[in-house]
Structure 1
Amino acid sequence: MNDLANGLEVQREALEAKEGGYLLQLEQMANQLEQLNDLANGLEAQREVLEAKEGGYLLQLEQIASLLEATNELANTLDARRDELEQQLRLRGQQLTALQSDFDSIQASNSHLIDRAHSLELKQHEFVSTIDALESQVNQAQIIMLEYQGAIERVNVLDMEKTTLLLELESLNMAASAHFNELAEKHREAEQLSNLSNRLESQREALEAQVTRLGQTINSLVEEKSEYQVLVDALHIRLGDSRDIMAAQPRKVLIVSHMYPREYNLAGGIFVHEQVKALRAQGIDARVVSGEPFWINTLNPKIIKRALGCYLAQKIEAWEEYDGVPLIRFPYVVSSLLPFQTHAVSYTHGLLQQAAWLQADFPFELIHAHTAYTDGTAGRRLASRFGLPLVITEHTGPFSTLTRTGYLRRMTQKALNAADKVISVSSALLSDIRQQVRLSPRVDAQVIANLVDMELFRTQPKSSDGFIHLLWVGHFVPVKRVPVLLEAFAGAFRVQPLLRLRLAGSGEGLEDARALVDSLGLTHVVEFAGHADRAQLVDYYRDCDFLVISSESETFGVVAIEAMSCGRPVLTTRCGGPAEIVSHPVLGKVVGMSVEALTEGMLAMTEQRADFNSKVIRKVTELKFSSASIAQEIAAVYSASIEKSIR
C-alpha cells in the first residue's frame, strides 16, 4: 500500500509540473495574441493613413492632368501657326527658284547673242577690207583707162560687183542693228528679273526676320501669361459672396498666446506679434495675454506653500506696451518636477486668475488662441466663462507632439471642438489635425497662412561676385535634415564648382554639421554664419540666388515667404507648408526627400536662376502673405464667428 501511495504521489507531482508548464504556455500564447492585436491595430491605422494619402495623390494627379491638357492645347496652336509659316516660306522658295531658272536661261541667251554679234563684226571688217581693195583697183583702172580700153567692161563688172557688195553690206548692217536692239531688250529684261529677284530675296529675309520676331513675341507672351496666371492664382478671388461680413466685425479681441517675443528670445512668436499688429492696423483693438512661467523647483512643502502664496498674490492691474501692442504677461506655475501634460492646467489657472480684471478693463468680444493644447485649453475655459466665440490657430509641428499620449490627445481635441473656427497655417497641418483628432461636424476649419513684414523684407539688387550663392536658415535639429542638405550640396558642387552655401542658425546639431563639412572637404565653400537677427536675414536673402529648405516636416515655413518677399526663389523638399508656398515654377522648385532629388533641384535652380523674376515673386508674396491680406482674412473669420454666435 505504501508503494502504491508513493507511486500516486509521484504521478500527482508530475501532473502538477505539467499543469504549471501548460499554464506558462497559455500565458505566453496570451501575450503573443495581445501583440498580434496591437500589430493588427497598427496596420489598420497605417491603412487608413495610406487611403487618405491616396485620395490626396489622386487629386494632385487630376490637377496635373488638367494642367497638361491645357499645355498640350497651347502647344498644338503654336505648332499649327509654325506649320503655316513654314508652308509660306516653302512657296516663296519655289517662286524664287523659278525666277532664278528664268534668269539663268536669259543669261545663256544673252551670251549667245553677244557671240553672234562679235562674228558679224568680224565679217563686217572683212567686207570693209574687200571694198577698200576694190576701190584701189578702180582707181588703178581709171589711171590706165586710156591705155586699157579693153578693160572697160571688166571695170563695169567690177562696179556692179561693188554695188552688189555694198548692198549686201548694208543688209548685214541692218541685221546687226536689229540683233543689237533685240540684245538690248533682252538685257533690260534680265536687269528687271535681277531686280525682281533682289526684291524677292529682300522680302524673304524680311519674312524670316518677321517669323523670328513672331516666335520671340509668342515666347514672351507665353512667359507673360504664366506670370499673370501666378498673380491671378495669388489673388484668392472669391465670387458669389456679397455679404457685408465687416458689419459684425468685433472691435475688441483678446489674443491668447504663450508664444510671444521676450527680451531673451525676440524671435519667439514673432509671427503672432506681427499678426496682431496687422489686425490693429485694420481697426481691430487686438490685445495679447501671454503666460510667463512661475518656477517652483522644490519638494519642500513649506517652500512650495510660500511660493504658491506669492503666485496667488500677484495681481495685474495695467497693460504694458510692446511695439505698439497692449500686452499682459500673467504668471502660471511650472516645475521641472512636473510633466508637460500639466502645463495646460496651470496655464489655464493663471489666466483665469486675471479673467475678472481683464473683462472689466477690456470688454473683449472674441478670444483668439494660438495652439490648441496650452492656449486653446485656457481660451476654451475663458470663452465658456463669458459666453464668447473662440477661434484657435494651430501652428504646432509635427502635430503628433500634441497627440502623443491619450491625455494630450483628449485635451487638444476638446479645445479644438470647443472653437467656433479652427485655423491651420497650412493644408498639410490641417490634414494632420483631421487624421489625429476627431473634429466635431460643427467645427469649421480653414487654412490661413502666416504673414511676412513686407516693409522689412524688401527686394534689393544682388551684388555679383561670379559665384552662385545658396542660403539655408533654421535650427540645427534633426527635423531640418542638415546632413541631407550637406550631402546634396556636395553632389551639386562636384558638378558646378561655382556653388557656395551659407548656413544661418544655431542648435544642438551645429558641431556635427561642422564635422560633416570637414569630412566632405567643403570647408572652403560652406559658411556657418551663426544665429542671425531679422536685419541680418534681410542681407542674407539679398546676397543669395535662392533659399534651400531641406526639412522632413514643416507646418508652414516662414523663411520661405521672407525670402520671396525679398524677391528670391525657393527650393524646398516636399515637407508640408513650404511645398504649398512654392505653388508655381516661377516661385521656385519642389523636390523629393532624397539626397539625389535635392542635388538635382540645386542644379536645376542654378541653371534657371536667370529666369526667375524677382518682381513677380514679390508681387505674389504681397498678394498672398502681406500683413493686409492675412489680416483681412482673419477679420473675416472674426466676423463670421460673431455672426455664428449671435444666431
Structure 2
Amino acid sequence: MRVVIVSRGIPSDRYKLQGIFEYDQAKALAKYTDNEIFFVALDLRSVRRWRKWGTHEYYKDGVHVISVNVPLGRVPDRLLDRIAIRKLKRVFSRISRSGKIDIIHGHFIENGYYSLEAAKFSKIPVVVTEHRSDMNKKDLSQRFFDLGERTYHRADQVIAVSSALGKMIKKNFDVDVETIPNIVDLNDFEYNENAMRSRDIISVGSLSENKNFADLIRAFAIAFPSEQRKLIIVGSGEQKHNLEELAEKTGIRDRVKFMGTLSRCEISEEMDKAQFFALTTKSETFGVVFIEALAKGLPVLATRCGGPEDFVNSRNGVLVGKGSLEEIVRGLKYLDENIEEFDRREIADDVEKSFAGEVVAKQINQLYLTTVKKRSGNGKNN
C-alpha cells in the first residue's frame, strides 16, 4: 500500500521532539511492513521557529519525506485551516501523480481535520490518531469541540494512544475508538545488566506546570528528609526558577540536581545510575518517558493521569493519585523499601514485547488493511 502520514513536523537537530511520535511510527512502518511510506511534515509554527521555508522532498530512514514549512504562528484559526488544507491538497495531488494513495493517516486533531478536507471526495480512507491532551477533557474549548465534531465522525477510523483518551473521545463525541500506543524507539534505552546504580531517583520532563515537579520535590523532601540520595531532574522550561526556589524552601536544594535538556543517549546513561523513576504529571495521553525508563529496567512511580494506567502495574511500579502529596510520599517510600522485589530484566522485556517498533507497526498495518477493505465495500466519501 501507499500510505501518507501527516505530521506536525519532523525532528531536527534544533527541535528534536518536533513530530517525533509520528516519525518514529513512519520509520517502523517503512522497516517492518511492505508499505511505501510518504511522511508529510506540515510545519505551521511561527517564523521564530527556525527552519528552511517552503516545500522540500527527500528520503530518510526508508521514508519519502515531504516537508512543508509555512511560517504562520498565531493567525486566526480559519486562516490557518484554509492554508493548511490548501497545502495538503497540493501535496496529495503531487503524490497521486506517481500512483494511487491507498490510505491517509493524520496525527493530532488538526491534521486529521486537514487530511479529511484535503481528501474530500477522493474516496481515500482517512485514519486519525489522537495524541492531544486537550482532547482528554470533559470541558473542551470551542475550538477543539468544533474540530472533534468535524473530524472524528468523518474519519474511517479513530485511534487513541491510551485507553483513557479513547474513552474520553467516545464520551464527548460518541465515536468508536481503537487504542494503539505510540511506538517508542528503544535503541537508546536498552537494558544494561551491569548498570552501577545509586539510590538516586530520576525524573524526566519539561519543567512545566502540567508535569508538576513541585509535588515531586515536596514529596521527596518528606519521604527522604535527611538521606544523602539525590533527586535528578532532566528537562528545561518556564518553571525552573520556581522549582529551584521550592527546593531551597524545603531544605533540599543541595539534593535536587537540575540537569537541563539532555540527549536521549545522555538520559539513558543517567537512568542507568538511578534506583527508580518518578514523575507526578497532572495529565498525560501516553507517557513515552515512562516506557523509556521501564525499558532500562527502572520501576516507576506514576500518577493516574490518563496514560500510565495502561502499562504501570504492581510488577513494574506504583500508581498514585495525581495531586495527592500523601500518596506520592507513600509511593516513593514503597519503591525504596521494596526495590529488590522488582525484576528489572522482566520489566525491560515486557516493554520490548508491547512497544517496540515492529510490534506496533504490525498493529497499525492490520488496521490499515481492515480500513481499506471496509471502505472499498461501502464506498464512503469523506
Q: Is the 8 A contact 1:262 1:268 kept in 2?
A: yes
Change (3 A) 1:331 1:402: farther
Shift of 1:565: 1.1
Q: Given the alignment of the two structures, is residue 432 of structure 1 paired with residue 168 of structure 2, yes or no?
A: yes
Q: Given the alignment of the two structures, is residue 639 of structure 1 paired with residue 369 of structure 2, yes or no?
A: yes
Match of 2:309 among 555, 559, 579: 579
| Separation (CA, whole Å) in 2 of partners of 1:492 and 1:434 | 39
| Separation (CA, whole Å) in 2 of partners of 1:296 and 1:269 | 18
SS at match of 1:621: helix
| Separation (CA, whole Å) in 2 of partners of 1:402 and 1:273 | 29
TM-score (norm 2): 0.91
Aligned residue number for residue 352 of structure 2: 622
SS at match of 1:434: helix
Q: Is the 8 A contact 2:137 2:168 kept in 1?
A: no
Q: Is the 8 A contact 1:252 1:364 kept in 2?
A: yes
Q: Given the alignment of the two structures, is residue 470 of structure 1 paired with residue 201 of structure 2, yes or no?
A: yes
Aligned residue number for residue 588 of structure 1: 317
| Separation (CA, whole Å) in 2 of partners of 1:408 and 1:572 | 27
Change (3 A) 1:341 1:457: farther
Aligned residue number for residue 266 of structure 1: 16
Q: Is the 8 A contact 1:541 1:563 kept in 2?
A: yes
SS at match of 2:278: strand
| Separation (CA, whole Å) in 2 of partners of 1:412 and 1:264 | 32
Aligned residue number for residue 277 of structure 2: 547
Match of 1:394 among 126, 130, 153: 130
Q: Is the 8 A contact 1:252 1:286 kept in 2?
A: yes
Aligned residue number for residue 448 of structure 1: 180
| Separation (CA, whole Å) in 2 of partners of 1:451 and 1:553 | 20
Aligned residue number for residue 359 of structure 1: 96
Aligned residue number for residue 483 of structure 1: 214
| Separation (CA, whole Å) in 1 of partners of 2:47 and 2:332 | 50
SS at match of 2:249: helix
Match of 1:289 among 40, 52, 63: 40
Shift of 1:362: 4.9
Aligned residue number for residue 180 of structure 1: none
Shift of 1:293: 3.1
Which digits, 9 at most, give the CA deviation of each residue in 1:517-551, with x for residues without a partner? 11111122111010011111111221111110201
Change (3 A) 1:319 1:493: same
Shift of 1:626: 0.9
Change (3 A) 1:598 1:362: farther
Q: Given the alignment of the two structures, is residue 459 of structure 1 paired with residue 188 of structure 2, yes or no?
A: no
Q: Which runs of 5 or more residues in structure 1 are unaligned? A: 1-250, 298-310
SS at match of 2:97: helix
Q: Which runs of 5 or more residues in structure 2 are unaligned? A: 378-382
| Separation (CA, whole Å) in 2 of partners of 1:602 and 1:437 | 38
Q: Is the 8 A contact 1:392 1:422 kept in 2?
A: yes
Which digits, 9 at most, give the CA deviation of each residue in 1:394-431, with x for residues without a partner? 00013268974434312222111111111100011112
For residues 1-400 of structure 1, what are the structure 2 equivalents within 5 Å?
251-282=1-32, 283-293=34-44, 319-332=57-70, 334-336=72-74, 338-340=75-77, 342-372=79-109, 374-399=110-135
Shift of 1:618: 1.2
Q: Is the 8 A contact 1:398 1:553 kept in 2?
A: no
Q: Is the 8 A contact 1:333 1:350 kept in 2?
A: no
TM-score (norm 1): 0.55
Q: Given the alignment of the two structures, is residue 410 of structure 1 paired with residue 146 of structure 2, yes or no?
A: yes
Change (3 A) 1:407 1:512: closer
Shift of 1:342: 4.0
Change (3 A) 1:320 1:631: same
| Separation (CA, whole Å) in 2 of partners of 1:397 and 1:406 | 15
| Separation (CA, whole Å) in 2 of partners of 1:359 and 1:532 | 41
Which digits, 9 at most, give the CA deviation of each residue in 1:573-597, with x for residues without a partner? 1111012220x31111111221111
Aligned residue number for residue 236 of structure 2: 506
Shift of 1:438: 4.0
Structure number having the greater strand percentage: 2
SS at match of 2:10: coil
Q: Return the structure number with greater relative CO, CA threshold 8 A, min gap 6.
A: 2
Q: Is the 8 A contact 2:135 2:144 kept in 1?
A: no
SS at match of 2:82: helix
Q: Is the 8 A contact 1:292 1:331 kept in 2?
A: yes
| Separation (CA, whole Å) in 2 of partners of 1:456 and 1:544 | 16
Change (3 A) 1:401 1:332: farther
| Separation (CA, whole Å) in 2 of partners of 1:580 and 1:400 | 15
| Separation (CA, whole Å) in 1 of partners of 2:80 and 2:277 | 36
Which digits, 9 at most, give the CA deviation of each residue in 1:263-294, with x for residues without a partner? 42012221211111111112221110112338
| Separation (CA, whole Å) in 2 of partners of 1:479 and 1:340 | 25
Which digits, 9 at most, give the CA deviation of each residue in 1:307-334, with x for residues without a partner? xxxx9xx6x5x73123442211124462
SS at match of 1:484: helix
User: What is the root-mean-square deviation of aligned Cα atoms in Å?
Assistant: 2.2
Change (3 A) 1:591 1:612: same
Q: Is the 8 A contact 2:169 2:177 kept in 1?
A: no
Change (3 A) 1:402 1:492: closer
The one-letter code matched in structure 2 to 1:279 is L
Change (3 A) 1:592 1:646: same
Change (3 A) 1:402 1:608: closer
| Separation (CA, whole Å) in 1 of partners of 2:297 and 2:71 | 45
| Separation (CA, whole Å) in 2 of partners of 1:394 and 1:530 | 29
Which digits, 9 at most, give the CA deviation of each residue in 1:439-488, with x for residues without a partner? 3xxxx421001122233210112214xx4111110011111111111110
SS at match of 2:230: strand
Change (3 A) 1:402 1:254: farther
| Separation (CA, whole Å) in 1 of partners of 2:134 and 2:76 | 19
| Separation (CA, whole Å) in 2 of partners of 1:334 and 1:452 | 30
Aligned residue number for residue 519 of structure 1: 249
Q: Is the 8 A contact 1:402 1:412 kept in 2?
A: no
SS at match of 1:413: helix
Which digits, 9 at most, give the CA deviation of each residue in 1:492-521, with x for residues without a partner? 112x71432100000000111011111111
Q: Is the 8 A contact 1:402 1:408 kept in 2?
A: no
